[in-house]
Every structure is written in C-alpha cells, then in structure tokens.
C-alpha cells in the first residue's frame, strides 16, 4: 500500500492453516533440513517434530514449544535460510492449492476496499516474507530468531508470536493508526490460540470447522 494512502481499516490474519493450507514452520523445516543437509537433516527435522509432539501431549504451552522449535535452527546461516525460504515458497505455491481460497479471496476484497493487510504468525520471516510479498501484505508480525555473526543462535528476540503475544502485537500495530477504530478492524484465525488476537478486533472470523473457537467468540463469523 502506498504510504501516502491511509488504510480504511486493518485486517489481521493468521497464516498457517488460515491463509495457507499447511503449517509453514514444520513444512519449511522439513524442506530446508532435508534439502540442505540430506539424510542427516531429515532425521534432525523428524526428531524436532517428535519432541514438539511430546511437549504438546504433556500440555506444554505453545509459547514454550515455539522456543523449542527455534532452537533447532541454531548454527544455520541466516542468508541460507532466507534463500531456501524463497525456494520453498516457489515450489509450494506452484501447486495451485497453497492458499486457502476463502481467506485469500476475503483479503483481496478487503484490499479493494482500501484495507491494510497484516500477517500475524508464530512462524518466521524466511517462509513468511515471500508470502507477504505475494499477497501484498503491509505488515508482518512474527517470531524473530536471533542472528549473531550471520548465524541463527537458536534463541528468539522478545516473546513468541503466539497467544497473548499476538494480541499485544495487534494492539501495538493498531496504535500506529490512531484514526482507525479497532471495532472496524478484522481478524482471521483457525485455532483457539488465535483467540486473543481475534478478541482484539471488532470483526473476528473463524476459518475452518473449529466449534470450540466459535463458541468462545459469540460475535465471530465462520468463513
């Protein structure tokens, strides 16, 4: 969006399984590790997945599993990860079913009405940047891996973009547009972890069959 043109509203959308039909963090992990490191990388990615599933089964909060995920990237060169992110997007988006059509079409309609699009995700810039360019998003709110001397350290900067972290980032972004009323803004999500973000806007939209999320959003709509 042209900086000289003020948006008519903000539209916040989760990415994984809300805008795209896969979980970018895990799909990209598999893609990168196997492509960059071969069989050893494939095994490494599988171990990370198994560890995260075990944590989830034990009720470990998503904020902590998010941190565990990024520890798996320690030692990788940031420029390599970014380059492979472009390759991942080029391959996956060429399938024709990469985007969830209902959400993609809704964002296009919002943009036609002058809205600014904001991607909000627990994932990170390597897979999200090409998506943001393709959908012409105005902002990307995501988890930020720490980089030192060109390498990912395995730590993150600040809090994971999960749960309450999403809500805080949404409110901070809305504060940059003081003339806009949060009641006029939209949010799209597919999981209960998106509830804090969706509750921060006047028009929450649930993508997909999630009755629990809908039950917690009496004013929400299903897409």
Q: How confident is residue 2, by pLDDT bands cut at 50, 70 and 90?
A: low
> pLDDT digit string (tens) for 140-170?
999 999 999 999 999 999 999 999 999 999 9
Tokens of 155: 């730590």
**Count of helices and strands (H, E) across the chain:** 8, 8
Single pTM value for the model: 0.94
Alpha helical stretches, state H, the chain = 24-57, 62-71, 78-93, 101-112, 125-135, 164-175, 195-198, 211-215
Distance between CA 179 and CA 212 in Å, rounded? 33
> pLDDT digit string (tens) for 91-117?
999 988 999 999 999 999 999 999 999
The answer to whether 207 and 100 are in contact (CB under 8 A) is yes
Q: What per-residue confidence (pLDDT) applies to 210?
A: 84
Of 54, 46, 129, nearest to 86 by C-alpha is 129
Whether pLDDT at 54 is above 60: yes
Q: What per-residue confidence (pLDDT) applies to 217?
A: 84
The answer to whether 44 and 37 are in contact (CB under 8 A) is yes
Other beta carbons within 10 angstroms of residue 198's beta carbon come to: 26
**Distance in angstroms between the alpha carbons of the first and the last residue of the chain:** 25
Task: Enumerate residues 6+ apart whose C-beta is below 8 A from 198.
Answer: 187, 189, 204, 205, 206, 213, 217, 220
Q: How confident is residue 49, by pLDDT bands cut at 50, 70 and 90?
A: very high
Q: What per-residue confidence (pLDDT) applies to 215?
A: 87
Which DSSP symbol is given to 201? S
The overall average pLDDT reported for the chain is: 94
Other beta carbons within 10 angstroms of residue 209's beta carbon come to: 9
Task: Pick the more confident residue, 211 or 83.
Answer: 83
Q: What per-residue confidence (pLDDT) applies to 59?
A: 92
Q: What per-residue confidence (pLDDT) applies to 148?
A: 98
Distance between CA 116 and CA 210 in Å, rounded? 26
DSSP three-state, residue 61: coil
Report all structural domains of the chain as residue ranges with CATH numbers, in order of start.
10-222 (3.40.50.1000)
What average pLDDT does this structure show over 2-11?
Answer: 82
> pLDDT digit string (tens) for 126-141?
999 999 999 999 999 9
């Amino acid at each position: 969006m042209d900086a000289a043109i003020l948006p008519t509203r903000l539209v916040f959308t989760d990415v994984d399984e809300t805008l795209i039909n896969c979980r970018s963090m895990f799909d990209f992990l598999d893609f990168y590790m196997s492509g960059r490191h071969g069989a050893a990388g494939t095994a490494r990615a599988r171990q990370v997945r198994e560890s995260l599933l075990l944590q989830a089964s034990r009720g470990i909060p998503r904020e902590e599993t998010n941190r565990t995920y990024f520890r798996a990237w320690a030692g990788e060169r940031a420029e390599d990860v970014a380059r492979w992110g472009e390759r991942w997007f080029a391959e996956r988006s060429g399938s024709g079913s990469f985007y969830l059509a209902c959400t993609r079409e809704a964002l296009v309609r919002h943009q036609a009405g002058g809205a600014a699009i904001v991607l909000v995700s627990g994932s990170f810039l390597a897979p999200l940047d090409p998506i943001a360019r393709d959908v012409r998003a105005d902002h990307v709110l995501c988890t930020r891996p720490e980089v030192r001397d060109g390498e990912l350290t395995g730590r993150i900067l600040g809090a994971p973009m999960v749960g309450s972290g999403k809500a805080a980032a949404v409110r901070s972004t809305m504060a940059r547009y003081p003339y806009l009323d949060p009641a006029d803004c939209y949010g799209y999500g597919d999981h209960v972890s998106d509830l804090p973000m969706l509750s921060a806007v006047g028009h929450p939209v649930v993508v997909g069959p999630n009755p629990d999320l809908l039950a917690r959003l009496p004013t929400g709509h299903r897409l």
